[in-house]
Amino acid sequence: MADPVSLAASCAMPPVLSKSAVTGGEVKRSAHMKMDSYNVGAVAPYQAMPVAGPVITHHKSTALPVVEPHPEMTEEEREARVAEMIGSYMKKLAERTHHHMGYPYNLDFDYGLLEGLTKFSINNLGDPFIESNYGVHSREFEVGVLNWFARLWEIDEEEYWGYITTCGTEGNLHGILVGRENFPDGVMYASSESHYSVFKAARMYRMESEKIPTLETGEINYDDLKAALAKNAGKPAILNVNIGTTVKGAVDDLDRVLEVLKETGYTEDRFYIHCDGALFGMMMPFLSRDAPMVTFRKPIGSVSVSGHKFVGAPVPCGVIITRFKYVMALSSDVEYLNSRDATIMGSRNGHAPVYLWYTLTRKGYEGMRRDVEKCMRNAHVLKQMFESAGIRTMLNELSNTVVFERPKEEAFVRKWQLACEGDIAHVVVMPNITVEKLEEFVADYVQSRARVSIAAAKRVACEAKAAEEEL
The answer to whether 127 and 331 have CB atoms below 8 angstroms apart is: yes
SS (H, E, C) 62-115: CCCCCCCCCCCCCHHHHHHHHHHHHHHHHHHHHHHHHCCCCCCCCCCCCCHHHH
Amino acid 142 reads: E
The CA distance from 228 to 112, in Å, is 51
Instruction: Quote the CA–CA distance of 152 and 365 in Å, as a whole number.
Output: 9
Distance CA 139, CA 123 (A): 9
The SS3 of residue 273 is strand
Q: How far apart are the first and last CA of the chain?
A: 36
Strand 209-212 to 237-242 pairing: unpaired
Look up residue 72 and give its amino acid. E
* Helix or strand holding residue 226 (H, E): helix 222-231
93: phi then psi, degrees, rounded to nearest 5: -60, -40
> 254-263 and 222-231 helices cross at what angle (nearest 10)?
40
Secondary structure (3-state) at 134: coil
Report d(CA 7, CA 190) in Å as an integer: 40
Query: How many residues are recorded in the chain?
Result: 471
Could you give the strand order of the β-sheet that contains 401-405, starting from the edge strand earlier in sequence? 393-394, 401-405, 424-428, 419-421
* CB 402 within 8 Å of CB 386: yes
Closest alpha carbon to 178 in 242, 232, 238: 238
Q: Which residues contact 30 (CB under 8 A, 6 or more apart)?
A: 60
Catalogue the active-site residues: 399
SS3 label, residue 39: coil
